[in-house]
Every structure is written in C-alpha cells, then in structure tokens.
Amino acid sequence: MLNIIIFGAPGSGKGTQSENLIKKYNLAHISTGDVLRAEMKNGTELGKLAEGYISKGQLVPDDVVIGMLANVLDSKKDASGVIFDGFPRTIAQGEALEKMLKERGQDVSVVVSLEVDEPELIDRLIKRGQQSGRSDDNLETIKSRLDVYKNQTSPLKEHYKNTGKLASIKGVGTVEEIFGLIAEAVDKVK
C-alpha cells in the first residue's frame, strides 16, 4: 500500500499536485482542509468549531483532526494507496498517523515536501483569494498561517528526514515540471 504524505507551506501546491498524483497512480485522497471545509459548508458542529480556527489562520486542535482522520482512513481501506494532503501538520499528528497506519499493517512510503519561498506563497494565496472566497485567503490570515507553518508544522520535516523518507522538491516552476520531480520520487518507493 502506497502512503504518500504531501507536505508544504500553505500555497506550496499540495492540493494542486495531489490531483495529479491521484490521476497518475489511482490513489485515494485525504485532504484534511477539504474535509474541514465540507463540514463548514454543511454547518455541522465540527464545521462551526473549525471555522473559528481556520478564519484566524490557526490549526484546528490536534484531538479534533486526529479523531476525524481515523474515520476517514477507514473509509479508504480498499484503496491501493492514499495521499495525505495537509496532514500531518504537527508532530502529534505525525505520531498519530504512524500509529494508525501501524495498526493497519502499513507505513508511510514517502514524504514529498514542496519548497517555495514566502513572497511566492503570499502571491499565490492572494491570487487564489480573489476567486476562491476562502475566509483564510487574505493577507492578515495568510501571514498567521505562514507563522503557524514555521513554528508548528516545519519541525516535522526534520522528523521525516531522520527516517530517510523525506523527498524535498523545489515547488517553483510549472505544475507539470514540479509533478515530474514528484513522480520521480514516488516511483522510487513504488
């Protein structure tokens, strides 16, 4: 079972490249951002809770996201592989994912880390905000999302580097060029 984590700052191209991975390798997609936005749209209790964090550019608490992931993971149990897009975002989430996979006789195959500098990230998210209507794609919230990434999410990179599973990829260029590099990294572990 191929388990790919796609990792990177907000706006680094995780969602975009996940779509290409799904098409090429026929994988199931788990995007915690998409799951949370769907809950917000449906006005569920979880959605209302998540909205308060997302609109401020903060992470939804670990226990909420980890609890949510266990159910989502079971719904994909017949897939030949899974892309984890935007999860894990903290060390605690990384540990929880490893435990959940281990309980199912699986492991993380590769962690694709998309490297993009901050001015480019801000530019992309501002542009997306002009069309997406997302409550978190405005300059103030983007800045706090980038701070959260630096402080809470990027330490995970060191963790995956130590396990030898990290593939750092330059996330600047055309979507196709970047995908070529990602596919090379995935093919090595397939």
Q: Examine the residue annotation and report whether 124 is marked as an active-site residue of this protein.
A: no
Q: Which residues pair with 8 in a beta bridge?
A: 114
The 3-state secondary structure of 68-94 reads HHHHHHHHCCCCCEEEEECCCCCHHHH
| Coil/strand/helix, residue 146 | helix
38 near ligand B4P, judged by CB under 6 A: no
81 near ligand B4P, judged by CB under 6 A: no
* Sign of the Cα pseudo-torsion (57, 127, 166, 157, in order): negative
Burial class from Cβ neighbours inside 10 Å (0-12, 13-18, 19+) for residue 102 reads: exposed
Of 11, 110, 146, 179, which one interacts with ligand B4P (CB under 6 A)? Answer: 11
Q: Examine the residue annotation and report whether 104 is marked as an active-site residue of this protein.
A: no
Catalytic residue among 41, 48, 76, 89: 89
Residue 99 assigned as binding residue: no
Residue 128 assigned as binding residue: yes
Q: Examine the residue annotation and report whether 14 is marked as an active-site residue of this protein.
A: yes
Residue 104 assigned as binding residue: no
Distance of CA 48 to the CA centre of its chain: 21
Residues that bind ligand B4P (CB under 6 A): 10-16, 32-33, 36, 53-54, 59-60, 65, 86-87, 89, 93, 124, 128, 136, 145, 175, 178
Binding residues: 11-16, 32, 37, 58-60, 86-89, 93, 128, 134, 145, 173
Active site residues: 14, 89, 128, 134, 145
